[in-house]
Amino acid sequence: MHTVAVLSLKGGVGKTTVALGIASAALRRGVRALVGDLDPQGNATASLDPPMTESTLADVLETPRLAVINEALAPSAWSDSLDVLVGSEELELLNEPGPESRRMDNLARALDELRAAREDDPYELAILDCPPSLGRLTRSALMAADTALLVTEPTMYAVAGAERALEAIETVREEQNPRLRPAGVLVNKLRARSYEHQYRIAELRESFGRLVMPTAIPDRLAIQQAQGACTPIHEWKSPGAQEIALTFNMVLAKILRSSRAGRHRLDHTESGELETAEQAPDYPGSGPGQNETTSQFPAIRQYAEPETG
């Protein structure tokens, strides 16, 4: 089971939309998947609309035992092939800083339990929808994840926000979870005709090079319509929805490829040295040198620079 954490520093940039879009692509492709809703707002749970459960992810984070996990797990209304580890408001209590750091790895333990218990019907992908902060809940997602997907809007603070998020990933990788890799920076709510958005994307690419996903998600009403109808974007029949569905197919494919690349690298390196999971192609139309980064942050340079040798 590959675990991807979907995160951002800012609220409202589209983490839940991206988590659901990847889940929708997984469903379409026949990839058995699980969405873990770590956000006390519970938006992913509301959209996936599972039946009432006896426990929630808040209980799992307190007691990461299989019995509790099974009580917090339910099939989504989208399909029996897509399950939800349901979120709840009580998660907020676990997001506050506290002395008891032992709970931080409880999500990782819970997912290990799940992996071991479901050898006959394994999940191929677990998608963790994080709350809008780099607090304890997001950090526990990073401790449990194989890759981390950063979501950003093409706005003025995007570069600074992505830098801070990548630094957080790097800290967790160094201190707690050596297998963690950035899956990429995914730009959401792009208005292709906006000069400002084009400028911000160029800025992101200059800072993060190939870490910036080759395709951005456009700003489309279809996303809100599909969410409002609790329907996977792949089933929403409008040209706008179909374009977005294709983009999520690409994002899913990249995550699954990085999963394989990650396994390969961990097999062949002794300490999981700092490497991005996969080399992404450029944005269409990007010129020579666009894959290079001028970031002043060493961690980001290591992720973003093309591999040599």
Residue 291's binding partner out of ligand ATP, Mg ion, none, with CB under 5 to 8 Å set by partner kind? none
CB 152 within 8 A of CB 161: yes
Q: Which of 4, 13, 35, 111 contacts ligand ATP by CB under 6 A?
A: 13
Amino acid code (one letter) for 302: Q
- Residue 181, burial from CB neighbour count under 10 angstroms (0-12, 13-18, 19+): buried
Q: Select the binding partner of residue 170 from Mg ion, ligand ATP, none (C-beta < 5 to 8 A, by kind).
A: none
Contact characters 172-211, ligand ATP, x per CB under 6 A: ----------------xx----------------------
Residue 292 C-beta: closest distance to ligand ATP, Å? 28
Minimum Å gap between C-beta 207 and ligand ATP is: 21
Which of 3, 17, 152, 207 is close enough to bind ligand ATP by CB under 6 A?
17
**For Mg ion, the closer CB: 132 or 272:** 132
Distance CA 288, CA 296 (A): 21
# residues near ligand ATP by CB under 6 A: 20
C-alpha dist (Å) from residue 143 to 76, 112, 168, 193: 25, 12, 11, 38
DSSP bridge pairs for 33: 82, 125
Residue 136 engages ligand ATP in binding (rule: CB under 6 A): no
Q: Which of these segments, 37-45, 68-76, 78-86, 97-105, binds ligand ATP (CB under 6 A)? A: 37-45
- Kindly state the smallest distance separating residue 120's Cβ from Mg ion, in Å: 32
Chain positions 209 to 248 lying near ligand ATP, rule: CB under 6 A, are 217, 219-220, 223-224, 227
CB of 254 to ligand ATP, least distance (A): 18
Q: Which is nearer to ligand ATP, 88 or 188 (CB)?
A: 188
CB of 235 or CB of 292, closer to ligand ATP? 235
Q: Tell me the closest approach of the beta carbon of residue 226 to ligand ATP, in angstroms.
A: 9
Residue 16 or 276: the one with the smaller Cβ distance to Mg ion is 16
Nearest residue to 25 (alpha-carbon basis) of 237, 243, 233, 259: 233
**Shortest distance (Å) from residue 221 CB to ligand ATP:** 6
User: What residue 189 binds from ligand ATP, Mg ion, none (CB within 5 to 8 A, per partner kind)?
Assistant: ligand ATP
Q: Is 153 in the site for ligand ATP (CB under 6 A)?
A: no
* Contact call for residue 132 and ligand ATP (CB under 6 A): yes
How far is residue 206 from each of residues 28, 209, 215, 282, 293, measured CA to CA in Å? 34, 6, 16, 12, 5
Q: Which of residues 39-68 bind ligand ATP (CB under 6 A)?
A: 39, 41, 43
Residues in 248-267 at the binding interface with ligand ATP, rule: CB under 6 A: none
Which chain residues interact with ligand ATP by CB under 6 A? 8, 11-17, 39, 41, 43, 132, 188-189, 217, 219-220, 223-224, 227
